[in-house]
Structure formats: structure tokens, C-alpha cells
Amino acid sequence: ISDLKDQTRRFDYCEIHPSMILGTMASMIPYPDHTQSPRNCYQAAMGKQALGVFSLAHEIRTDTVVHLLQYPQKPLTYTHASDCMGFNDMPSGINAIVALACWTGFNQEDSVIINEASIQKGLFRSFVYKTIMAEEKKRAANSFENIMIPPASVKIKSYNYQKLDKHGIIIEGKKVYNGDVIIGKVINKSTKTAGEQLIDNSIVIKHGEEGIVDKVFISLTPDGYKLVKVKIRSQRIPEIGDKFASRHAQKGTCGMVLPLQDMPFTQEGIVPDIIVNPHALPSRMTINMFLECLGSKSAVHKGIFRDCTAFSSSSTNILETLQDELTKHGYENNGYETMISGFSGEQLNAKIFPNPQ
């Protein structure tokens, strides 16, 4: 802009920066100017599927179904746009240590091997919150509902009413399973012939809704009826068949959860969290994945977060700078390391690319 002030010609419009051609999703990709263009399109679509923290007020919200990553981490390598939009403060991913290797044959064809110890320590675990709602409303002129513990005479035998409080509502913190009643509800129906009739209309947990009662909200609707919302929390732990992806549109499913003792490890004793097959990279030409790995590895040792904004001095002709930084920290300039087999304890003949990502 200072250069424009020196010009005599008047400018109506000025492009802030070349990276501003990218939209919200594409502007979060690390080094997007170093990859095949369709990959950026794929990642722009896949980034919307990533699990993270969708709201800082999630504890008091009652969304129908919500997924929440348990341990989200600020990315080591970020773009200026993602920082401005707050995606570094509310991230949707984890900085995992990734090794590129063909290992046991269970990570062929875009599948990945995940370290069992990493999962046990919380890697990629998430919560699913489901909200179930019940309302005390008038059904007809001669019929209305009450939220309460149903009388023994109308209780359904296959339901479990033991976890309700005196008001007929589930207690917070209780584990609920298939068949457990979470909100007791009775329909009062009065007829001329039979008089007052009670019908059990309790809300019960169905198969697939099991979990822990996270919160119970009791309020009134605008019409003055009693409203009860029960928020149920269940944990999802990564397993075989789950989909994982890097920010470079390198997606794959989990092919094996390998015990820690069978994983390869570096001479420093670092064990990767994920092993990705190197055959996933040449045909897709995701060079930015290599650059992010190198940049993150040197950033860890420097104790910094690295900028990787497209078309900036942080991204253009950056390879030699990253290589020099790695060399200064005592590593091979391309990020390769000698690794040791977890199966035999022997040194592997191949040089492997283990890096944080």
C-alpha cells in the first residue's frame, strides 16, 4: 500500500494479498501453492467434515446431535487467514507424529496403522452429544400429559424406571442403557364411559442411544408448558475402519491398531502415532505435505508456530530454509531418520520420514 501512495494514478480497488483468492476452507491448507490444484478442492470439501470444537458454549447448548473432539490441538503450521478467522483458537485436529513406511502390509491402499498406545492416551477420541426432549402438553380437550413417575398399575414391564428422581426425570451422571426410562410421562385421558384413564407414554432409551446423562435442562415453553431436555454423552474411540485425513486431502481408513511394542521407533526413542504408506504421495503430488512435515519438525525444536500462507515469503522458495533449520538441529536435511524395528529390534535398512503433522 505504501508503494501505491507514490503513484499519481488513483486506484479504486486494491487486492490485499494473493492468498486472498482462497475461500474459508482453502485458506486453512498449509502451503496450498505447492500441491496439485484438485487436492485443494478435495481438502476444501473434507475440511468441513473434520471434528473439532464447534462452540465454546457447547456445555449449555442442546443440539440434536453433535460431535466434539476431546483433545483438539493448535496446529504447529498455520496460515495467516486461519489465524484471523480464529481457527487456531478453536482447532479441528491433532498434531500427530506421522511416519511414511510400508509396515506389516496392513497399511496398503490408503489405509493407515495407528499406535494403540496413542489411542489409549486419547488420540482422536471424541464425544457424541444427543439431546432428547419431552414436553407436558395438552393433547385434546379431554386429554393432557404429566411428567412424573407413572403409577405401578400402568408401568410397562420391559422398561426400567429405577434411575428416575421423584419428579420422574433421570438423574445427571447416570449411565443409561437400552430400555432405561429417562423421562417418565403419563397421558391423562377422561371419557364419559370409562372415567379417567392413565396411559404410560415415558421416553425410553433405544438401541444406539446409550451413554451417560451429561445435563438435564428443565424450563417452560412460550405457551407455559413444562419442557425437559436430557443431553446424553457417549464416547467414540478410534477403531479399524474409521476415516482419518491430513490437511492435504490425504485421506485413508484405519487398517490396523498396532501395539506400541510392534511399532518402529527412532534412535531418539520416538514412536509414530500413525504410519502412512509412502505410495499415497507420488501420484497425488501433495508436496505441501512434505513441506508441512519439515516445517513442523523444525518448529518443534525452535519452539515456534510456523506461518505457511500461500504466495507469501513464508511459502515461496521455502524448502532450502526448512532444510537448513533441520540441519542446524542435528537432523538429516530432508527429515529422514534411521528407525529400529519393534518386532526384531534390528535397525531398518530403509531411511524413514517420521515427522509431526
Residue bearing cell 432409551:
205
Paired sense of beta strands 347-356 and 274-276, if any: unpaired
Q: Strand runs (DSSP E) across 73-124, as ranges?
A: 77-78, 97-100, 111-115
In the residue annotation, 200 being an active-site residue is answered as: no
Q: Which grid cell sits at 247?
A: 490437511
Alpha carbon of residue 258 to chain centroid = 21
Q: β-pairing, 175-176 with 65-69?
A: unpaired
Please report where in the chains the cell 417418565 appears, as a residue. 184
Dist. CA 21–CA 137, nearest whole Å: 53
Q: Are strands 77-78 and 97-100 parallel, antiparallel or unpaired?
A: unpaired
Bridge-based pairing of strands 185-191 and 195-200 is: antiparallel
Residue 201 near residue 148 (C-beta atoms within 8 A): no
Task: Give the type of residue at 255.
Answer: G
- What is the distance between the alpha carbons of residues 275 and 283, in angstroms, rounded to a whole number? 18
Burial 250-289, CB ≥16 within 10 A → b, else e: bbbebbbbbeeeebbbbeeeebbbbbbbeebbeebebbbb
Question: Of 12, 33, 110, 223, which is the active-site residue?
Answer: 110
* Residues belonging to the active site: 110
